[in-house]
Protein backbone atom coordinates (compact mmCIF):
# COMPACT_ATOMS: atom_id res chain seq x y z
CA UNK A 1 0.00 0.00 0.00
CA UNK A 2 2.86 2.38 0.81
CA UNK A 3 4.31 1.75 -2.65
CA UNK A 4 1.02 2.69 -4.29
CA UNK A 5 0.75 5.87 -2.22
CA UNK A 6 4.38 6.77 -2.99
CA UNK A 7 3.80 6.19 -6.71
CA UNK A 8 0.63 8.28 -6.61
CA UNK A 9 2.42 11.12 -4.80
CA UNK A 10 5.41 11.02 -7.15
CA UNK A 11 3.29 11.13 -10.31
CA UNK A 12 1.02 13.91 -9.13
CA UNK A 13 3.90 15.90 -7.65
CA UNK A 14 5.45 15.99 -11.15
CA UNK A 15 2.11 17.04 -12.65
CA UNK A 16 1.78 19.77 -10.03
CA UNK A 17 5.12 21.21 -11.16
CA UNK A 18 3.68 21.61 -14.68
CA UNK A 19 0.53 23.39 -13.49
CA UNK A 20 1.97 26.96 -13.51
CA UNK A 21 2.90 26.52 -17.16
CA UNK A 22 -0.07 24.53 -18.44
CA UNK A 23 -3.07 25.99 -16.60
CA UNK A 24 -2.88 29.67 -17.68
CA UNK A 25 -2.48 28.64 -21.33
CA UNK A 26 -5.27 26.09 -21.04
CA UNK A 27 -7.56 28.71 -19.44
CA UNK A 28 -6.89 31.13 -22.32
CA UNK A 29 -7.40 28.33 -24.86
CA UNK A 30 -10.74 27.35 -23.30
CA UNK A 31 -11.80 31.00 -23.24
CA UNK A 32 -10.89 31.35 -26.93
CA UNK A 33 -12.58 28.08 -27.91
CA UNK A 34 -15.81 28.76 -26.02
CA UNK A 35 -16.27 32.52 -25.65
CA UNK A 36 -14.18 34.50 -28.15
CA UNK A 37 -16.49 33.99 -31.15
CA UNK A 38 -19.56 34.13 -28.88
CA UNK A 39 -18.68 37.66 -27.73
CA UNK A 40 -17.45 38.85 -31.12
CA UNK A 41 -20.67 37.67 -32.77
CA UNK A 42 -22.65 39.41 -30.06
CA UNK A 43 -20.69 42.60 -30.69
CA UNK A 44 -21.23 42.32 -34.45
CA UNK A 45 -25.02 42.28 -33.94
CA UNK A 46 -24.73 45.70 -32.30
CA UNK A 47 -22.72 47.52 -34.98
CA UNK A 48 -24.51 50.02 -37.17
CA UNK A 49 -24.13 50.45 -40.90
CA UNK A 50 -21.12 51.99 -42.60
CA UNK A 51 -17.65 52.94 -41.54
CA UNK A 52 -18.86 54.58 -38.31
CA UNK A 53 -21.02 51.63 -37.29
CA UNK A 54 -18.79 51.10 -34.26
CA UNK A 55 -20.03 54.48 -32.93
CA UNK A 56 -23.51 54.69 -34.47
CA UNK A 57 -24.86 51.43 -33.17
CA UNK A 58 -27.79 49.48 -34.53
CA UNK A 59 -31.14 49.77 -32.73
CA UNK A 60 -30.72 46.16 -31.62
CA UNK A 61 -27.74 47.14 -29.48
CA UNK A 62 -29.91 49.35 -27.30
CA UNK A 63 -32.69 46.79 -27.11
CA UNK A 64 -30.21 44.05 -26.13
CA UNK A 65 -28.67 46.18 -23.38
CA UNK A 66 -31.59 48.29 -22.17
CA UNK A 67 -34.80 46.47 -23.11
CA UNK A 68 -37.06 48.17 -20.57
CA UNK A 69 -35.68 51.64 -21.25
CA UNK A 70 -36.15 51.15 -25.02
CA UNK A 71 -39.70 49.95 -24.42
CA UNK A 72 -40.38 53.00 -22.22
CA UNK A 73 -39.02 55.24 -25.01
CA UNK A 74 -41.55 53.81 -27.44
CA UNK A 75 -38.90 51.65 -29.16
CA UNK A 76 -37.13 54.80 -30.35
CA UNK A 77 -33.51 54.52 -29.22
CA UNK A 78 -32.89 58.17 -30.13
CA UNK A 79 -35.14 59.12 -27.20
CA UNK A 80 -32.82 57.48 -24.67
CA UNK A 81 -30.58 59.76 -22.58
CA UNK A 82 -27.06 60.27 -23.96
CA UNK A 83 -25.50 58.16 -21.20
CA UNK A 84 -27.20 55.10 -22.70
CA UNK A 85 -25.36 55.71 -25.97
CA UNK A 86 -22.03 55.99 -24.13
CA UNK A 87 -22.66 52.77 -22.19
CA UNK A 88 -23.79 50.94 -25.33
CA UNK A 89 -20.76 52.03 -27.36
CA UNK A 90 -18.25 51.12 -24.65
CA UNK A 91 -20.08 47.86 -23.89
CA UNK A 92 -19.95 46.92 -27.56
CA UNK A 93 -16.27 47.76 -27.81
CA UNK A 94 -15.65 45.66 -24.68
CA UNK A 95 -17.13 42.62 -26.45
CA UNK A 96 -14.34 42.87 -29.03
CA UNK A 97 -11.41 44.25 -27.04
CA UNK A 98 -11.52 42.30 -23.75
CA UNK A 99 -11.70 38.82 -25.35
CA UNK A 100 -8.90 39.74 -27.77
CA UNK A 101 -6.69 40.90 -24.89
CA UNK A 102 -7.27 37.63 -23.04
CA UNK A 103 -6.45 35.49 -26.07
CA UNK A 104 -3.30 37.50 -26.80
CA UNK A 105 -2.33 37.47 -23.14
CA UNK A 106 -2.06 41.27 -22.99
CA UNK A 107 -3.20 43.01 -19.80
CA UNK A 108 -4.79 39.65 -19.10
CA UNK A 109 -5.60 40.11 -15.43
CA UNK A 110 -7.36 43.42 -16.05
CA UNK A 111 -9.15 42.10 -19.15
CA UNK A 112 -10.32 38.99 -17.27
CA UNK A 113 -11.59 41.16 -14.41
CA UNK A 114 -13.43 43.31 -16.96
CA UNK A 115 -14.98 40.20 -18.52
CA UNK A 116 -16.16 39.01 -15.10
CA UNK A 117 -17.91 42.34 -14.61
CA UNK A 118 -19.31 42.10 -18.13
CA UNK A 119 -20.74 38.63 -17.43
CA UNK A 120 -22.42 39.84 -14.23
CA UNK A 121 -23.99 42.79 -16.04
CA UNK A 122 -25.00 40.55 -18.96
CA UNK A 123 -26.62 38.09 -16.56
CA UNK A 124 -28.44 40.86 -14.69
CA UNK A 125 -29.85 42.25 -17.96
CA UNK A 126 -30.86 38.76 -19.11
CA UNK A 127 -32.78 38.19 -15.87
CA UNK A 128 -34.29 41.62 -15.17
CA UNK A 129 -34.49 43.12 -18.65
CA UNK A 130 -35.24 40.14 -20.87
CA UNK A 131 -37.12 38.12 -18.27
CA UNK A 132 -35.08 34.92 -18.44
CA UNK A 133 -37.14 31.99 -17.20
CA UNK A 134 -36.16 29.64 -14.38
CA UNK A 135 -34.78 27.00 -16.74
CA UNK A 136 -32.51 29.55 -18.42
CA UNK A 137 -31.36 30.95 -15.09
CA UNK A 138 -30.82 27.49 -13.61
CA UNK A 139 -30.06 26.69 -10.00
CA UNK A 140 -27.01 25.56 -8.13
CA UNK A 141 -26.93 22.33 -6.14
CA UNK A 142 -29.72 20.75 -8.15
CA UNK A 143 -29.53 17.71 -10.38
CA UNK A 144 -29.34 19.76 -13.61
CA UNK A 145 -26.28 21.39 -15.13
CA UNK A 146 -27.79 23.13 -18.13
CA UNK A 147 -28.86 26.50 -16.72
CA UNK A 148 -27.36 29.12 -19.02
CA UNK A 149 -26.84 31.77 -16.37
CA UNK A 150 -26.00 30.15 -13.04
CA UNK A 151 -24.50 26.91 -14.34
CA UNK A 152 -22.64 27.79 -17.55
CA UNK A 153 -21.57 31.27 -16.58
CA UNK A 154 -20.16 30.00 -13.28
CA UNK A 155 -17.59 28.08 -15.32
CA UNK A 156 -16.89 31.17 -17.43
CA UNK A 157 -16.28 33.22 -14.28
CA UNK A 158 -14.12 30.48 -12.75
CA UNK A 159 -11.88 30.38 -15.84
CA UNK A 160 -11.58 34.17 -15.83
CA UNK A 161 -10.94 34.26 -12.07
CA UNK A 162 -8.04 31.87 -12.56
CA UNK A 163 -6.56 34.33 -15.09
CA UNK A 164 -7.08 37.27 -12.70
CA UNK A 165 -5.10 35.48 -9.97
CA UNK A 166 -2.47 33.66 -12.04
CA UNK A 167 -2.08 35.77 -15.18
CA UNK A 168 -1.66 34.68 -18.78
CA UNK A 169 1.36 32.41 -18.45
CA UNK A 170 4.78 32.32 -20.08
CA UNK A 171 3.47 32.27 -23.66
CA UNK A 172 1.80 35.67 -23.62
CA UNK A 173 2.42 39.29 -24.44
CA UNK A 174 2.25 40.03 -20.70
CA UNK A 175 5.25 37.73 -20.15
CA UNK A 176 7.19 39.35 -22.98
CA UNK A 177 6.46 42.85 -21.67
CA UNK A 178 7.52 41.83 -18.16
CA UNK A 179 10.98 40.94 -19.55
CA UNK A 180 11.64 43.99 -21.75
CA UNK A 181 11.30 47.75 -21.56
CA UNK A 182 11.18 50.12 -18.62
CA UNK A 183 8.42 48.08 -16.92
CA UNK A 184 10.49 44.86 -16.91
CA UNK A 185 10.44 42.92 -13.66
CA UNK A 186 13.85 42.80 -11.96
CA UNK A 187 15.38 39.33 -12.08
CA UNK A 188 16.10 37.45 -8.92
CA UNK A 189 19.90 37.41 -8.41
CA UNK A 190 19.87 33.67 -7.77
CA UNK A 191 18.27 33.13 -11.21
CA UNK A 192 20.70 35.49 -12.98
CA UNK A 193 23.76 33.53 -11.80
What is the pLDDT tens value at each position of the chain, 193 positions in all? Answer: 889 899 899 899 998 998 889 999 999 999 999 999 999 999 999 999 999 999 999 999 999 999 999 999 999 999 999 999 999 999 999 999 999 999 999 999 999 999 999 999 999 999 999 999 999 999 999 988 999 999 999 999 999 999 999 999 999 999 999 988 677 767 665 554 4
Which residues are CB-neighbours of 112 under 8 A, at least 6 positions away?
Answer: 102, 160, 161, 163, 164
The residues spanned by each domain of the chain are 22-180
Amino acid sequence: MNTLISLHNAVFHQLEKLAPFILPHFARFVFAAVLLVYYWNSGLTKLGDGIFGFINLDFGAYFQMFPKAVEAAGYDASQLPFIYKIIAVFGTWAEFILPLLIVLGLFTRLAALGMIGFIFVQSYVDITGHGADEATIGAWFDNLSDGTILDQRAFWVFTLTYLVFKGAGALSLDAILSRVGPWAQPQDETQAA
